[in-house]
């Protein structure tokens, strides 16, 4: 671990086009924090396999994820950007954790129950997802994990996995802390529910102005009041209450004008990132991941060497 710096890790599942919920819930907190830590940014491509079965799309999503990270402001010289599947220790440690926790414990997972309720196939990977996520975090002696409010339980699972291993085999893993931006929490979608690709209620992070406008204009509004709360909830991601008050006071009941103002503010934020992203090539991505894999592998392999000795498989 770098002298004087604690470790931070976060990642996004590479299963599709990012939206502003991903940005405000995970990417922006990482960009704001990562310079103060020894930081790891993971493309969670194995996690994506719980729902993504198209190999070409899997590869496309990996490229896209790294381009997204770089365009959002992450400097690969200041963070280790790597692909989960390049580090075999992740799945190896996840198996060990699977052998420490119970089925009833995993059945408590909110994310698993929620996805199954929505009709997603209840495959074993989805069921044991929290233990792979725990391995992702604990391999690197991670202290802080920037996540959205909906991911809080996964960090609790990671702490539980660490505690069970430490109890069985001796002190080995740090119990991590989640970092949730209180002003953001759960990012609202165009229908007022949590923004999610599965709900079809997203605003694309790197979409064109027209795509952003189309999404914003589809935001469901509450016609019973002077202020469209769903529009305001999204606008608060960009400006303070004090900055927004005059705009919303001057446009009471004028939902179209307020949506147009939101479009302008989103486009002002997203245009520079969109332009930067368009300049990043696939070869740039490969170079970043190759460098990141070497750095992540050095840390993960050292940790697993200790783990193997402690569980007794090293002769």
The residues annotated with a catalytic role in the active site are 115, 194, 197
Residues 6+ apart with CB under 8 A from 113: 107
How many other CB atoms are found less than 10 A from the CB of residue 271? 14
Look up residue 164 and give its two tokens.
Answer: 């069970």
Alpha helices in the chain (DSSP H): 20-22, 28-33, 45-48, 55-71, 89-98, 103-107, 110-117, 124-138, 152-169, 209-217, 229-235, 241-250, 255-278, 282-311
Chain centroid to CA 53: 20
The packing angle between helices 152-169 and 282-311, to 10°, is 40
Q: How far apart are CA 241 and CA 119, in angstroms?
A: 38
Look up residue 174 and give its two tokens.
Answer: 């740090």
């Amino acid at each position: 671990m770098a002298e004087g710096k604690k470790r931070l890790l976060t990642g996004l599942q590479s299963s599709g086009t990012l939206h502003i919920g991903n940005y405000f819930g995970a990417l922006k907190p990482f960009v704001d924090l990562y310079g103060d830590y020894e930081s790891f940014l993971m493309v969670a491509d194995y996690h994506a396999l719980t729902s993504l079965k198209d190999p070409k799309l899997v590869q496309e999503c990996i490229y896209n994820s790294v381009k997204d990270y770089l365009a959002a402001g992450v400097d690969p010289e200041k963070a280790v950007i790597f692909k989960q599947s390049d580090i075999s220790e992740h799945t190896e440690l996840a198996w060990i954790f699977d052998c420490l926790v119970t089925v009833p414990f995993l059945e408590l997972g909110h994310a698993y129950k929620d996805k199954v309720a929505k009709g997603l196939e209840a495959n074993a990977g989805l069921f044991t997802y929290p233990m792979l996520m725990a391995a992702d975090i604990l391999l690197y002696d991670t202290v802080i994990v920037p996540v959205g409010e909906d991911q809080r339980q996964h960090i609790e699972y990671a702490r539980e996995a660490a505690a069970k291993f430490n109890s069985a085999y001796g002190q080995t893993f740090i119990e991590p802390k989640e970092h949730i931006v209180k002003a953001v929490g759960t990012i609202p979608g165009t229908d007022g529910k949590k923004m999610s690709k599965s709900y079809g209620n997203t605003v694309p992070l790197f979409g064109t102005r027209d795509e952003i406008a189309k999404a914003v204009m589809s935001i469901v509004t509450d016609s019973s009041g002077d202020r469209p709360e769903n529009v305001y909830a999204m606008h608060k991601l960009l400006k303070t209450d004090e900055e927004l008050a005059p705009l919303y006071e001057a446009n009471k009941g004028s939902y179209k004008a307020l949506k147009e103002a939101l479009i302008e503010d989103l486009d002002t934020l997203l245009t520079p990132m969109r332009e930067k992203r368009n300049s990043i090539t696939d070869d740039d991505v490969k170079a970043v991941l190759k460098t990141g894999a070497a750095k992540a592998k050095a840390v993960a392999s050292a940790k697993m060497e200790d783990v193997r000795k402690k569980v007794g498989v090293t002769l």
